[in-house]
Chains A and B, each alone.
Chain A
Amino acid sequence: GAGVSQSPRYKVAKRGQDVALRCDPISGHVSLFWYQQALGQGPEFLTYFQNEAQLDKSGLPSDRFFAERPEGSVSTLKIQRTQQEDSAVYLCASSNPGPGLSNFGPGTRLTVT
């Protein structure tokens, strides 16, 4: 079956622009996570959804970052007024409740120039 997909795969934005990154989780998965992976680093947690409810957004670095999952399936991560430090790969992952997170998407590589 289809895995987690993300679009776009690559995004170049000029500093100050807004961007929107999309995640299509595996159908039926309740949990959805966003992670940020800077070059040479491990992924860092941004936010977590259980269905449409955003239960944890403690990892969002600033109020320029906003995520939603209005119908409990597709999720969008929006970054307003992008800064160079936002350059990273943004990974989405989905799962059903319980330990284990094996379904990462391919990521969106964001470059802010």
Chain B
Amino acid sequence: GENVEQHPSTLSVQEGDSAVIKCTYSDSASNYFPWYKQELGKRPQLIIDIRSNVGEKKDQRIAVTLNKTAKHFSLHITETQPEDSAVYFCAASGVTGGGNKLTFGTGTQLKVEL
């Protein structure tokens, strides 16, 4: 089955700096890669996603890049703000008999310091 690794596990940045979180996946059949933000005690919220036919996608201050050959993808947050502080999860999925079930990474605790 799919295995997703995520680094770093914790990340501390100064307000206004950029943050980068990296993930690798094992199953070359995976073709969809979402990122979720989860605040303490809340549900995961989809913040951006990318499909395997695209190398990069951007939405305001967040962007995701995908390298299919190397099987890794990254989340980039620019001009970080205190409200960006949360746990971020990457995930991967492919179309299988189990619908589009997601395999999640272990999460990155992002702290944006004033």
Contacts and interface: CB of A to CB of B under 8 A. Distances in A.
Interface of A: 31, 33, 40-45, 48, 50, 55-56, 58-59, 91, 95, 97-102, 104-107
Contacts, number: 68
Interface of B: 6, 31-32, 34, 42-46, 49, 51, 89, 91, 93, 95-107
Contacts of A99: 31-32, 49, 51, 93, 95, 100
The 9 closest A-B pairs by CB, nearest first: A56-B98, A42-B104, A99-B32, A102-B46, A104-B43, A48-B99, A45-B101, A48-B98, A42-B89
B98 A55 contact: yes
A105 B34 contact: no
Contact of B107 (A42, A59, A98): A42
B43 A48 contact: no
Nearest to B96: A56
Contact of B100 (A42, A59, A98): A98
Contacts of B49: 99-100
A106 B43 contact: yes
Contacts of A95: 100
Contacts of B91: 42
Given A102-B46, A106-B43, A107-B43, A56 B104 contact: no
B62 to A, nearest CB: 15
Given A48-B98, A101-B34, 4 more contacts: A31-B100, A56-B97, A56-B99, A99-B31
Given A41-B107, A91-B43, A106-B42, A100 B100 contact: yes
